[in-house]
Amino acid sequence: MRYEIKGGSFPVVVCYLENGEQMITEKGSMVWMSANMQMDTRGGGLGKMFSKALSGESMFQNIYTARGEGMITFGSSFPGQIKPIIIEPGREMILQKSAFLAAETGVELSIHFRKNLGSGFFGGEGFIMQRLSGRGTAFVEIDGELVEYELKPGQQMVVDTGNVAGFEPSVRMDIQQIQGLKNMFLGGEGLFNTVLTGPGRVWLQTMPICNVAAAIRAYIPSGNG
């Protein structure tokens, strides 16, 4: 599989496939393709479908197979970047659940739950994430711009939860309550932050869609007047 990323704020990734090569996506992100691409929708088993439904993800996967030399293009759903990742044993990645765009079929997607239940009740979208494993190239959506850090062992970074795009499995993620009642209720930063502890690589995004949605919501009429 060869690919090229085109576009600016709304990028696409164009994938060129040899006969029999396949690509997989979960959220209908195909925007155009050659006529010899064959689509097959699969559920992935009852247990996997239930876990996906619990996390709010699509329960189905679309698999596209090239019948001859083919081309398929996947588009982002929000202004930002498309980032290619090479996944292989020892190079897995944990991502926010909306980040996955498409991948070669050798890449395996699974639900990643935080063992700390406090993350679930208080951490918002930081609790349920996606884990990419297996082997192959995957494409990830980044909201806004991508900023990457390499944390040393024990080094910590405090991040607003929505700005966490992903991290390596060696990084520990915890939820931290903002200290002080005045800071919590008057600071405008919410009640909790995400704490990432190294070692490992972390990906941060500058314009998470959840923050944009919250900002727009304040300007939408309530319908009562």
pLDDT computed for residue 127 by the predictor:
61
> 193 Cβ partners below 8 Å, 6+ apart?
158, 159, 160, 161, 175, 176, 178
According to the per-residue pLDDT averaged within each range, which of 36-45, 96-105, 122-131, 190-199 is highest?
96-105
Residue 28 near residue 65 (C-beta atoms within 8 A): no
83's tokens: 């980032």
DSSP code per residue over 9-28: SS-EEEEEE-TT-EEEESS-
What pLDDT, in 10s, does the model give residues 37-67?
Answer: 999 988 654 345 445 555 445 557 899 999 9
Distance CA 78, CA 55 (A): 20
What pLDDT, in 10s, does the model give residues 163-186?
Answer: 999 999 999 998 877 654 444 444
- Alpha-helix runs per DSSP H in the chain: 46-55, 117-122, 181-186, 209-217
Give ∠ CA 196-8-110 in degrees, rounded to 5: 40
CA nearest to 108, candidates 24, 46, 33, 164: 24
pLDDT computed for residue 208 by the predictor:
82
Give all domains of the chain, ordered by start, each with its CATH number. 2-217 (3.60.160.10)
Q: Which amino acid is at 116?
A: N
Q: Which amino acid is at 192?
A: F
If phi > 0 it is left, if psi is from -120 to 50 it is alpha, else beta; for residue 47 that is alpha
What pLDDT, in 10s, does the model give residues 12-31?
Answer: 999 999 999 999 998 778 99
Give ∠ CA 204-208-222 in degrees, rounded to 5: 160
CA nearest to 104, candidates 69, 74, 60: 74
Helix or strand or coil: residue 83? strand
Average pLDDT over residues 73-84: 92
How far the first Cα of the chain sits from its last, in Å, is 55
Whole-structure pTM value: 0.80
Backbone angles phi, psi at 117, to 5 degrees: -65, -25
Q: How far is CA 51 from the centre of its chain?
A: 17
